[in-house]
Amino acid sequence: MDVIRHHIGGTEAGAAERTGPVFDPATGAQVAQVAFASTAEVDAAIAVAVEAQRTWAAMGLVRRADVFFRMRQLLIERQDQIAAVITREHGKVLADAKGEISRGIENVEFAAGLVHLLKGEHSTQVAGGVDVHTLKQPVGVVGAITPFNFPVMVPLWMSASALAAGNAVILKPSEKDPSASVLLARLWEEAGLPPGVLNVVHGDKEAVDAILDSPAVGAVSFVGSTPIARSIYERAAGHGKRVQALGGAKNHMIVMPDADLDGAADAAVSAAYGSAGERCMAISVLVAVGDTTADALVAKVAERMARLRIGPGTDPASEMGPLITREHRDRVAGYVAGAAAEGATVVVDGTLAEFAGDGFFVGTSLVDHVRPGMRVYDDEIFGPVLSVVRAASYEEAVELVNANPFANGTALFTRDGGTARRFELDIQVGMVGINVPLPVPIGAYSFGGWKQSLFGDSHIYGPESIHFYTRSKVVTTRWPQPSESQIDLGFPSNH
CATH number at residue 468: 3.40.605.10
Q: Does residue 181 share a domain with residue 290?
A: no
> Is 54 part of any domain?
yes
**Distinct helix (H) and strand (E) counts, the chain:** 16, 23
Q: Which of 348, 177, 128, 143 has the alpha carbon at shortest distance from 245?
A: 143
Q: Please, is 200 exposed, middle or buried when counting C-beta atoms within 10 Å of its C-beta (0-12, 13-18, 19+)?
A: buried
Q: Does residue 356 share a domain with residue 465?
A: no
Per-residue model confidence as pLDDT tens digits over 300-331:
999 999 999 999 999 999 999 999 999 999 99
> Is 491 part of any domain?
no
Q: Does residue 257 share a domain with residue 201?
A: no
Please say whether the beta carbons of 88 and 48 come within 8 A: no
Per-residue model confidence as pLDDT tens digits over 447-488:
999 999 999 989 999 999 999 999 999 999 999 877 766 677
> Is 459 part of any domain?
yes
Q: Does residue 129 share a domain with residue 14?
A: yes
Which pLDDT band, with edges at 50, 70 and 90, does 491 fall under?
A: confident
**CATH number of the structural domain spanning residue 414:** 3.40.309.10
Per-residue model confidence as pLDDT tens digits over 13-72:
988 899 999 999 999 999 999 999 999 999 999 999 999 999 999 999 999 999 999 999
Please say whether the beta carbons of 474 and 134 come within 8 A: yes
Please say whether the beta carbons of 142 and 167 come within 8 A: yes
Q: What is the arithmetic mean of pLDDT over 230-246?
A: 97
Q: Please, is 483 exposed, middle or buried when counting C-beta atoms within 10 Å of its C-beta (0-12, 13-18, 19+)?
A: exposed
Distance CA 197, CA 10 (A): 9
Domain that holds residue 60: 3-247+453-475
Q: What is the arithmetic mean of pLDDT over 172-194?
A: 98
When divided into structural domains, the chain yields a total of: 2
Q: Does residue 459 share a domain with residue 344?
A: no
Q: Does residue 180 share a domain with residue 278?
A: no
Q: Does residue 256 share a domain with residue 238?
A: no
Distance CA 245, CA 232 (A): 7
Element of type H or E holding 130: strand 130-138
Distance CA 66, CA 488 (A): 49
> Is 492 part of any domain?
no
Q: Does residue 283 share a domain with residue 228?
A: no
Q: Does residue 128 share a domain with residue 222?
A: yes
> Is 480 part of any domain?
no
Q: Which pLDDT score, from 0 to 100, does residue 26 have?
A: 98
Q: What is the arithmetic mean of pLDDT over 225-236?
A: 97
Q: Does residue 287 share a domain with residue 198?
A: no
Average pLDDT, the chain: 96
Distance CA 429, CA 179 (A): 34
> Is 483 part of any domain?
no
Angle at alpha carbon of residue 344, lines to 339 and 349, rounded to 5°: 60
CB-side neighbour CA atoms (13 Å) of 272: 27
Q: Which of 267, 280, 320, 388 is catalytic?
A: 280
Cα dist. 150→83, 224, 283, 436 in Å? 11, 11, 17, 21
Per-residue model confidence as pLDDT tens digits over 118-141:
999 999 999 989 999 999 999 999
> Is 489 part of any domain?
no
Distance CA 90, CA 324 (A): 6
Q: What is the arithmetic mean of pLDDT over 101-113?
A: 97
Per DSSP, the three-state class of 377 is helix
Question: Is the pLDDT reported for residue 495 higher than 70?
Answer: no
Q: What is the arithmetic mean of pLDDT over 147-176?
A: 98
Per DSSP, the three-state class of 52 is helix
Q: For 487, phi and psi rounded to 5 degrees?
A: -115, 130
Q: What is the arithmetic mean of pLDDT over 235-254?
A: 97
Q: Which of 169, 344, 199, 350 has the alpha carbon at shortest distance from 269?
A: 350
Q: Which pLDDT score, from 0 to 100, does residue 494 have?
A: 59
Q: Does residue 262 share a domain with residue 160?
A: no
Distance CA 311, CA 315 (A): 7
> Is 481 part of any domain?
no
Q: Does residue 468 share a domain with residue 370?
A: no
Who contacts 347 (Cβ-Cβ below 8 Å, separation ≥6)? 298, 302, 366, 367, 368, 388
Please say whether the beta carbons of 250 and 296 come within 8 A: no
The question of whether 280 is a catalytic residue gets the answer yes
